[in-house]
Amino acid sequence: MGNEAVLTQLRRLEIETPSWGYGNSGTRFHVFPWPGAARTVWERIADAALVHELTGCCPSVAIHVPWDRVDDWGELRRQAEAQGIRIGAVNPNLFGEDEYRLGSLSNPDAAVRRRALDHCRECVEVAEQVGSSIVSLWLADGTNYPGQDDLRGRFRRLVDSVEELYAALPEGMRLLVEYKFFEPAFYSTDLPDWGTAALVCRRVGPQAQVLVDTGHHPQGTNVEQIVALLLEEGLLGGFHFNNRKYADDDLIVGSIDPFELFRIMREIAAARRDPATAATAGAVAFMIDQSHNVEGKIDAMIQSVMNIQTAYAKALLVDEKRLAEAQLAGDVLGGHRILLEAFETDVRPLLGRLRQQLGVAEDPVAAFRDGGYGADLARERGTASVESAYEQL
């Protein structure tokens, strides 16, 4: 693909940032408060709007309920829109209540399952009110010990619950089902992998698709192959981008393994060109799910956005025609080198042009850092003490 065509594709890339990435977060050991970090949902929306202003490519913000609960969802929508962004995926929270000790949608107790389901249905209504078309489901459900619960029984309860939730989806709204291999459950997790998530989606219907959180796989997993297979099956709904070294680290996207990010984005780029997968690939939601423990929030988010753009630019530069020829000819190293050629291309000049076209600075992180935003926010908001469970995550 030539540079102009690459620019056209890059201009279409929209990345959603998470409200929960703007507040203070930490580990179970400590939460280090960051001066000026957002304290309320209104401040989180404002920070997401600032990221959009500086990058030109983050027009929506995901919310988590009840962390971002407000009395008037219409007002939240208006506030976001007044600042140039919209509300994106609505994430029900099925792990923050005492009653979820043994799970939410697959809890052995029918009354708990019902309340979890009611909360999910409430999130569908919230999505309608804020003008969003995605409800994103991640479950902490699982068990800690062999024998704690019946594994087939848990799956059956889960599917029954998701079926009921699916029935509440209005036309055009998607349910994205996210998996994670462990944590907080340590022996079994009810949605541990893409295969299980895909099975659940297939059981309920086409408005349900899988969400791939890049940090939710065991060491060494070939994430781009998962992406390729889900695309091929029409089942890839979206991403939660972040990076990991050991577990669900939620580090800056592309910070540990930019080559993996490139390989993932290349599957997207290739699938968008293939008529068999173009529709699925074109509807994939690119979302960031990140939390910052020792670094600032806003510039880290912007860095993630830039790293995704970099990886996508390189992915678009892959010479797919020559690659297909090398593959057909059985030229193993030749095919590999075609990928490397794209990965090693310096795309900074191209991204500079993209940002010129988007009307933002060539280096949005530097624009944030040099623009005095951090100091202004710190002055305005102070250094928040860590006062809620949300900030302990």
Asked if 213 interacts with ligand RM4 (CB under 6 A), we say yes
Report whether 16 contacts 361 (CB < 8 A): no
Asked if 297 interacts with ligand RM4 (CB under 6 A), we say no
Asked if 239 interacts with ligand RM4 (CB under 6 A), we say no
In whole angstroms, the minimum distance from the beta carbon of 215 to ligand RM4 comes to 7
Nearest to 226 by CA among 182, 289, 271, 256: 271
Asked if 180 interacts with ligand RM4 (CB under 6 A), we say yes
Helix, strand, coil percentages, rounded to 5, for the chain: 50, 15, 40
Task: Return the ∠ at Cα 234 (arms to 88 and 336), rounded to 5°.
Answer: 100
Overall residue count recorded for the chain in this entry? 393
Nearest to 270 by CA among 210, 320, 310, 339: 320
- Using Cβ positions, the residue closest to ligand RM4 within the complex turns out to be 138
Asked if 248 interacts with Mn ion (CB under 5 A), we say yes
In whole angstroms, the minimum distance from the beta carbon of 31 to ligand RM4 comes to 14
Q: Which does 260 bind (CB under 5 to 8 A by kind): Mn ion, ligand RM4, none?
A: none
State whether the Cα torsion 21-23-29-33 is positive or negative. positive
In whole angstroms, the minimum distance from the beta carbon of 183 to ligand RM4 comes to 7
Report whether 115 contacts 107 (CB < 8 A): no
Binder among 16, 260, 289, 299 for ligand RM4 (CB under 6 A): 289
In whole angstroms, the minimum distance from the beta carbon of 85 to ligand RM4 comes to 19
Binder among 16, 213, 224, 299 for Mn ion (CB under 5 A): 213
- Contacts of ligand RM4 in 149-178 (CB under 6 A): 178
Nearer Cβ to ligand RM4, position 189 or 277? Answer: 189
State whether the Cα torsion 340-345-350-352 is positive or negative. positive
Beta strand spans in 145-299 (E): 174-178, 188-189, 208-213, 236-241, 285-288
Binder among 240, 266, 297, 314 for Mn ion (CB under 5 A): 240
Task: Count CB neighbours of 299 within 10 A.
Answer: 21
Nearer Cβ to ligand RM4, position 93 or 309? Answer: 93
The residues that touch Mn ion, with contacts defined as CB under 5 A, are 213, 240, 248, 289
The footprint of ligand RM4 (CB under 6 A) covers: 91, 138, 178, 180, 213, 240, 248, 289, 393
